Amino acid sequence: MNYNSKFAIVTGGANGIGRCIAEVFLHVGTEVAVIDVDREEGEEFQGLYPDLRFFHGDIGDKAALEGFVKALRRPVDYLVNNACIGRKGLLSGCSWEDFEYVQRVGVTAPYYLTSLLLKGNLLAPKASIVNIASTRAFQSQEDTESYTAAKGGIVALTHAMAVSLAGRARVNSVSPGWIDAGLYHKQIAPGEHSAEDHAQHPVGRVGKPEDVAGVVLYLCGDQAEFITGENITVDGGMGRLMVYHGDFGWGLEKNN
Ligand code: NAD
């Protein structure tokens, strides 16, 4: 469980869940490199921690990933593929370009970054890779195809990489449910949640970035050395709740 003096990469670590993961690593003595498109927040974050290096770049851009890996000063103990975006889906006419860009950020970049580390001999012994997926890999709302496809992709990529990297690195994914990422944003305020928002979760509340970061830390540590190719859901039990209209106080109110 000794994270001290280890080295972690967190993509999309300038804000939200990624920033919380990066902070949790820094607090246990791990050096961190963050790549993010948000230069302002990334530079502000770097100014707060001597053990944090910020790289400005879009992980959907091959050259940016190559430049980022070239600038690394040491082999990577923990790679957290966190950054992702959504550009909606069928009902709002998500274009070829937008759909393809989401897959590049959400699936191709985690693959290519891992591949660059492998080729550059930059995976430290007993390395751990954690891919941030989503419960949306397993259940859907309408008009979410670009994001949902990327999340399904990263769950499958996780077990494929776990098998390819056997003996080199463990690879797991974490699937958050509803997490209030605004708690780690300057630009986005934390959400105002109703009693019902909290109560629909079997644990009784909406999630916090720390709920995800704790599981990432666990998966990176030696205590998880028998876990690879696995996905851990962190959703307060919401994905396990069976909802039938009329049962146990649940009712369907359809507005359209
Ligand atoms: P967020 O939007 O709050 O933060 C994402 C960070 O990634 C930002 O700093 C952003 O600038 C950066 N980023 C976005 N595109 C990038 C790119 N192309 N290259 C480099 N950096 C980029 O997101 P979040 O809510 O903290 O989500 C983090 C991860 O958790 C994502 O993979 C997301 O899909 C997943 N997730 C979030 C929730 C939730 O409820 N918040 C639920 C399930 C899964």
In order along its 256 residues, the chain shows pLDDT tens digits of 689 999 999 999 999 999 999 999 999 999 999 999 999 999 999 999 999 999 999 999 999 999 999 999 999 999 999 999 999 999 999 999 999 999 999 999 999 999 999 999 999 999 999 999 999 999 999 999 999 999 999 999 999 999 999 999 999 999 999 999 999 998 888 889 999 999 999 999 999 999 999 999 999 999 999 999 999 999 999 999 999 999 999 999 988 6
38 within ligand 1 shell (Cβ under 6 A): yes
Assess whether 184 carries a catalytic annotation.
no
Q: Which one is catalytic: 3, 78, 101, 147?
A: 147
Is the C-beta atom of 179 inside 6 A of ligand 1?
A: yes
Mark residue 6 as left, alpha or beta (left: phi above 0; alpha: psi -120 to 50; beta: remaining).
Answer: beta
* 3-class DSSP assignment, residue 231: strand
Q: Token match 């399904």: residue?
A: 152
Q: Partners of 176 in the beta sheet?
A: 234
Cα separation, 106 vs 231, whole angstroms: 16
Q: Is ligand 1 within 6 A of the CB of residue 60? A: yes
Q: CA–CA distance from 161 to each of 63, 136, 251 (Å)?
A: 22, 21, 42
**Which pair of structure tokens corresponds to residue 220?**
């990176």
> The whole model's pTM is what?
0.98
Q: What is the arrangement of strands in the sheet containing 76-81, beginning at the earlier edge strand?
A: 52-56, 31-36, 7-11, 76-81, 123-132, 169-176, 231-234
**CATH 2.60.40.10 is right for the domain spanning 7-240:** no
CA 253 to centroid of ligand 1, rounded, Å? 31
Q: In whole angstroms, what is the distance from residue 99 CA to residue 104 CA?
A: 9
